[in-house]
Chains A and B, each alone.
Chain A
Amino acid sequence: MGVALASAVLLADDEQEALEALHAAPATDGLPVVIPTPARVERMVLASGLDPDMLLGEVGPSQGAATIEKVAINAVMAGCLPDHLPVVIAAVKAICRPELDLTELQSTTHCIAPIIVVNGPARHACGPIASGWGALGPGHRANASIGRAVRLIMMNVGGARPGLSDMALLGHQGKFTSCLAEDEENSPFPPLHTSLGYDAGQSVVTVVGTEAPHSVVHVGDADDPSSPNRLLRSLAATIANVGSNNAFFRRGAVLVVLNPDHALTLAKAAMSRADVQAALCGLATNSRHLLRSLNPAFAGQGADDDPVCALRSPDDVLLVTAGGGGLYSMVMPSWGAGPHGNVFVTEAVDLDQACAIP
Chain B
Amino acid sequence: MRDAISFARRNIPAVALVTTEFWPQGDFVARSAGMPDVPRVELPHPVAGSGHERMGEVARSIATTIVSALWA
Interface residues of A, Cβ cutoff 8 Å to B:
61-63, 103, 107, 159, 163-165, 167, 297
Contact = CB atoms under 8 A, between A and B. Distances in A.
A167 B32 contact: no
A107 B26 CA distance: 11
Given A159-B32, A165-B28, 14 more contacts: A61-B29, A61-B32, A62-B28, A62-B32, A63-B32, A103-B2, A107-B25, A159-B28, A164-B24, A164-B25, A164-B28, A165-B29, A167-B22, A167-B25
Nearest to A167: B25
A103 B24 CA distance: 16
Interface in B32-48: 32-33
Contacts of A164: 24-25, 28
Contact of A61 (B22, B24, B28, B49): B28
B28 A163 contact: no
A247 B30 CA distance: 33
A62 B28 CA distance: 8
Contacts of A62: 28, 32
Interface size class of B (residues with CB under 8 A): under 10
22 contacts: A61-B28, A61-B29, A61-B32, A62-B28, A62-B32, A63-B32, A63-B33, A103-B2, A107-B25, A107-B29, A159-B28, A159-B32, A163-B24, A164-B24, A164-B25, A164-B28, A165-B25, A165-B28, A165-B29, A167-B22, A167-B25, A297-B49
Nearest to B22: A167
Interface in B1-32: 2, 22, 24-25, 28-29, 32
A62 B31 CA distance: 8
Contacts of A103: 2
A106 to B, nearest CB: 10
A159 B2 CA distance: 16
A253 to B, nearest CB: 23
A144 B25 CA distance: 29
A103 B33 CA distance: 12
Contacts of B25: 107, 164-165, 167
Contacts of A63: 32-33
Contacts of A167: 22, 25
A136 B25 CA distance: 31
A297 B50 CA distance: 12
Contacts of A163: 24
Nearest to B48: A297
Contacts of A61: 28-29, 32
Nearest to B49: A297
A159 B29 CA distance: 10
Nearest to B31: A62
Contacts of B2: 103
Nearest to B33: A63
B14 to A, nearest CB: 18
In the complex, the 10 A-B pairs of residues with the closest C-beta atoms, listed nearest first:
A62-B32, A165-B28, A164-B24, A165-B25, A164-B28, A167-B25, A63-B32, A61-B32, A61-B29, A164-B25
B37 to A, nearest CB: 18
Contacts of B29: 61, 107, 165
A159 B25 CA distance: 11
Contacts of A297: 49
Nearest to A63: B32
B40 to A, nearest CB: 16
Contacts of B22: 167
B30 to A, nearest CB: 11
A153 B24 CA distance: 21
Nearest to A160: B28
A164 B33 CA distance: 15
Nearest to A104: B2
